[in-house]
Chain A
């Protein structure tokens, strides 16, 4: 089992791989990738009962990435976990490749095609409901962007999750507070998200979504209450780990130029040395 320090080291290494990937293919949702990468790291290295060997098992835990535009982060983590060779990602976005800018089931390890926002939670609800019907003990984790919570379909799915008492469902909100236009609160106020999800029947816990220790502690504690779906409100920083990208909306899908890439990698090298 990876320790907190192991996870921290992985998070830096994932960031390096992510930036290399985005740099190589010339596209990506850099800011959101960086905000949710630590959540993916903890999920795939500590929480999810799934591996390349068990991915076809009906009893595996499921992970649905509703914020599909952060596919690069998912691909980096899946490659590291051995779902496919990292070299495959050299074809990302290339003509004819099945690695494209959003997750698809053509990529081994991906559960559901996503990309249009507000779709993942309902699919996760269906999977969790099937587990209850079949008396299986797999869990379903769904990562949501905060910006996508203005899609009403999320709240339809939330009601259904609570109605069917889906305590095997864990929704995680990557609460980085920014979307493409700017602050989520300026675009359309979301706060207080904890109270909103509680009102919709979820058991809610907050955590620092870029802190390995907090993420492990919270995600290992699911379900938070028997009979209720769990909601993790993970406070993150968009662009986390690269000083000049943090909390800057333009990095939503910014691609670093030569200078920015060098500076970013230098910061990550320093961070890696500090952790090691």
Chain B
């Protein structure tokens, strides 16, 4: 697929548009304006950025104070630090205190690749899902990023926005529009559903295209809002298609997959089900693409997982393919 811009670039452009419309919109950064692609923002609206240095706890606390004074605040920092070091500030100063700050985790997941686990955020969905009063959003492509940023700016409650930094393809959409908490249907199909989020929607779509060549037609949903989950879309996928594969750039513990599994179990729906994400082990070294491939989060890997799931269900003959 042809690549468009990195979601991070689109985030920065969307934020600048919003900042020009609203002088009370502020960005707070922790020595992260370069990583966040905010150079144009700084140049265009220098009075609307607050720098706190490498101090993530302070970043969120100061953002809460600014929001308490009526500012529309985007607190921007690498996701690995933002959702770990300043987790207590997110929990107490934003969520518990009802301060509608937009916490923006940049270079999320394994975007930093070979910089290693200190710089990876494979825990953020899990920890934030367990905190009341925050919406968790991981846009799949440039369109969802732009719409997600604009929707977050309008939100009267805290939002966590998560972006990677690689260039993303424009994904097709069966239905137009974007709404927080409502999944985007990227591809229709009934044999199987890929429920993915963030930068894993593109490989899920690629897998669906590969499978279509073998006449296996998969539904692909971008569950860009991990919380609140679009329960209706998940239940429909479970009842209308032959199984579910969830895909996320996150630990298999506590993320999108377990959210979907918990929903189905409690609704009494049995579905063939597989969570694809990062296993509970030290993450292999490599760039993001290599790490994705290692864990089967690429088109061929996900296609193989799909075939295995369907084969186990007796829907297609058992294949010699990459194990899941």
Binding site for B on A (CB under 8 A): 58, 62, 104-105, 111-116, 118-119, 121-131, 133-134, 152-153, 156-157, 159-160, 163
Contacts and interface: CB of A to CB of B under 8 A. Distances in A.
B55 A129 contact: no
Contacts of A123: 61-62, 64-65, 68, 93
* Binding site secondary structure of chain B: helix
Contacts of B64: 112, 122-123, 126
A62 B47 CA distance: 24
A117 to B, nearest CB: 10
Contacts of A124: 65
B50 A122 contact: no
Contact of B62 (A105, A129, A133): A129
Given A105-B97, A113-B92, A122 B57 contact: yes
7 contacts: A105-B98, A121-B61, A126-B61, A133-B71, A156-B53, A156-B57, A160-B52
Given A130-B65, A153-B61, A122 B89 contact: yes
Nearest to B69: A130
Nearest to B71: A130
A233 B231 CA distance: 54
Nearest to B47: A133
B149 interface: no
Interface of B: 47, 50, 52-53, 55, 57-58, 60-71, 88-89, 92-93, 96-98
Contacts of B65: 122-130
Contacts of A104: 96
A121 B61 CA distance: 8
Contacts of A131: 69
Contacts of A113: 92-93, 96-97
A119 B62 contact: no
Given A126-B67, A159-B55, 10 more contacts: A115-B92, A122-B61, A122-B64, A125-B58, A125-B61, A125-B65, A129-B66, A130-B71, A156-B53, A160-B62
A32 B288 CA distance: 51
Contact of A112 (B52, B55, B66, B97): B97
A128 to B, nearest CB: 7
Contacts of B57: 118, 122, 152-153, 156
B87 to A, nearest CB: 11
A126 B66 CA distance: 5
Nearest to B55: A156
A153 B93 contact: no
Contacts of B60: 122
A112 B69 CA distance: 11
A130 B93 contact: no
A156 B58 contact: yes
Contact of B69 (A105, A134, A152, A157): A134
A58 B93 CA distance: 19
Contacts of A152: 57
